[in-house]
Structure 1
């Protein structure tokens, strides 16, 4: 497994503590905060370099350390391999995935922007999933040779970090239900309107460094959620920065994300829908058809 950086244990621990600090400031679950602090303490007292452990044992080796589960092990691996932690960038307001995507040979700036805007790809793991499930092949300019080169580069970079590559759909991947996702989306938008959330200052499209972007940390069962309005170029262009909501969720096995938007045409006009899961949304709203009052609560005024 390739390890690309020379980041020392202390540096990694410092970044994990910064995650914990920002989660604390932004009102996240105290158990999640403590998990990052505990992991930082473990790495501070680790007798061997994390990079060597990953080289020899993969993320499974990290999981033998008390307090470090699958998700944290993957985050540490990402930090060691890429020098960056997408979650930390997000908490800082530095949500720019373009430099990370362009670090893969064959992915230039134009392609990276299309991947981010069209496929909502922010991480190398998400890029790998898209490369294997056919979405990347559908992008203009990605032929078979380039696709294979990207896959080979990701294999070398991610090594044993890779999660099982499911392509069947929500039922087989363990994705949260539409009802759960829309509940978090509603929670975020209502809390944003009432002004009860912490705000961060995104670095992109924010020359005045205004702390305008509300951030929500919450959980549903074992899943931890972070919710943010989209700060993408397309959201600004279409004036959807107060409509499109990005939900990041971690089930203990790694982080995923989805985007919730307001439908503009039938059968979803005025209703909140999850991009890429329109069929599931249709089934969900159909099940509510006999309860108009409940169904209306899912719509956005």
Structure 2
């Protein structure tokens, strides 16, 4: 999503989250304080999780109502007020004057000016979190990026985005544990609800997208020590079966994993057969899902209902 032009109307939570995310990127590129950067990224996550428009919250309770929100301090609340009332955020404009998305990407090790321009043009992304997510999808084919270079760039992005502030040194391992099943179900439900409401940023995948349209909703989330990215499946199988608005791919990485470049992946689907037919399940972990539903019958019923909707 492109940042709104100065004096453009800013009224949605997704627009505000995009501007805050852009500012966090600029702070990171300038080597800013990592706690301040994480504060902005945390605010973006909290705004994405809101069920009410920030404009409505401001209108009803003023700036104090914004400050009362989790993850929104006085400084960020003031920025939100400025965006909603003036249609711009001067602080961001001043910092962004000399740092376009291409120049921002060029600050990542392994990305030069030519490749940075190509990333912006070919992938249609403008923020570091979205660049990281698209490169991790595996379907982003960009001239000049092979497997090794992609891995190096992703490692640089993970460090820049401060994904692993508590990471410990230790032996490399290629396996990481899966998050609690309840957390994956919660992420799946939140993602599909936000996607259905049009409250998520859209990216333009390279595969099965000849017109280059930005149609794929993406959600970045942090919870219980896990960094998570969720998006609908864009595989050939999903398209052939008409499940691109049902299958949700969740990428996850723990904060404390000794190797920041390693991540796990889970695919959430609506089961079409067997005793779990109509329920949301984690593909490859159906038995564990059945046990989870047995302990929480109400969760199974609500998940099944949402599953039929497809997000």
TM-score (norm 1): 0.49
TM-score, normalised to structure 2's length?
A: 0.48
